[in-house]
Chains A and B, each alone.
Chain A
């Protein structure tokens, strides 16, 4: 990670400076969660959709299960009554991790909205201070410094999200808000010092502060840098060993088991093929981390096909274009398609069954095709009852259409379609 040109340590490496995440068990909660795929639990984190500044209020509201407005009002009231609301907000901002699934209206727009909200808050704050008669020369610079801190922190949030996004839509990082924040902070603090005494004394105070801080930085810098790089190396090593362990476990569970089974079944080519394919499917879905979730139409169809392949030992090739959330009608479609695949696998004698599904805006269509022996649809034999009832009937009951095209010697194609509206 290149060190960004910022002045605040919080912005230089949020993962290292953020007190909430320095425990060795979870140096970077995002990476750890990704690796372990831990079950989602109700964590207190900020930045859910709907955040205005840093997502503290939305995060708290989500965690406590109260309307976000209450939290916001409470914070504002506490701020007006002595400023503890603002302090609490700042503390939560530092301590709470960002929620990972959070890109509401597009990063660019969200970031602009956030800047606007910060400016509005600053203006409002000044106005309130003025109305209360508190806009003494000591308070104004402090308020400016607070806004500066917020700007710098915001930038570190952005940098973290940019790292999460990693690929694809890389928004060019803007550094000027952080720079402006740093300047604001410096000016604010200087102003505060100046307001406390005469400017000369302030300058001397400032000078001595700069000297002391500079000396401390010089002393501590090598140590900080080394600690940070050690931390990073350690984290990488942990990730690596974790991946190695996961890989070993996966290979052991799938590939080695399958190889053992294949050795036993070496004289049964059909069984060997089935074992190899199911192991291949498993390994591939793990390698590419394909969600095999059955909540989507695609996932359900792929799983149904895999089940038939497993049960009947006939390869089923599935191609799906588009996807949709699974509802009752699509579930019926999947079950009907599954039955059609079972029929093809059992009766057609074809070496492979092909499934093609296309999700369009208004309808979903599934084709199940084999190049097997085919049959005459007008003289349906009794054992084809399954096709009429469990395939055609299912789809028709769901308000869709089914068509079976077949002729002796020319294979069979079943076309199933349901509308989505």
Chain B
């Protein structure tokens, strides 16, 4: 989603991010493995939900690249299966489509962002590094969806702060939806990249915890479950 160069304290050099790939398509796994080989350590692969839970528990990677659509429940089932046991492991959802409704349930179950399968190798590596560093990765469409879901028209506020975006968060999301990379967002708003990351992480938290009707509606009843 962004072609910005990694900025800030990103693990480089000897400390390489350890990644597990979860996808039921072998072809896709080997493609990603080749693309990421230069920048991360792929420590495991899995192609079913059960296998994924085993491999992730055994290898305790920094980042799990998690396919949204798999037989037996897909990425959601893996997240639910692992639960809160591995707080140091972050999940990055990978979906074949950029439809927000595809990933909203996975994000709400704990994934720290998502990318589509057609991102370039560099973008993917960048997203993995970001997620490993504890940040969130939003695609333009997910940003647009969040703006839509949190729009002010619905004033049924049940959970105060969690159900509303701050003006600044809104600004950041708008720019992401317009296709700006974090670095460009920072420049446009005269803030640091770190601050942009903080805003996006805060939006992610709201996305995961808010009880807004729109979010719940998207999360249930989709083909994901």
Contacts and interface: CB of A to CB of B under 8 A. Distances in A.
A321 B179 contact: no
A322 B151 contact: yes
B151 A354 contact: no
Contacts of B174: 356, 358
A354 B179 contact: yes
A346 to B, nearest CB: 18
Contacts of A319: 140-141, 143-144, 177-178
Contact of B217 (A168, A284, A361, A369): A168
B72 interface: no
Contacts of B217: 167-168
A367 interface: yes
Give the size category of B's interface with A: 20 to 34
B97 interface: yes
Chain A facing B: main interface SS: strand
Interface string A343-382: 0000000000010101001000001010100000000000
Interface in A311-331: 317, 319-322
Nearest to B101: A288
Given A321-B151, A321-B177, A356 B144 contact: yes
Contacts of A413: 178
Interface string B64-99: 000000000000000000000000000000000111
A280 B143 CA distance: 22
A356 B140 contact: yes
A356 B99 contact: no
B159 interface: no
Contact of A356 (B148, B151, B179): B179
Contacts of A367: 178
19 contacts: A167-B220, A168-B217, A284-B99, A288-B99, A317-B98, A319-B141, A319-B143, A319-B144, A319-B177, A321-B177, A322-B151, A356-B144, A356-B177, A356-B178, A356-B179, A358-B174, A369-B179, A371-B3, A371-B179
Interface of A: 167-168, 280, 284, 288, 317, 319-322, 354, 356, 358, 361, 367, 369, 371, 413
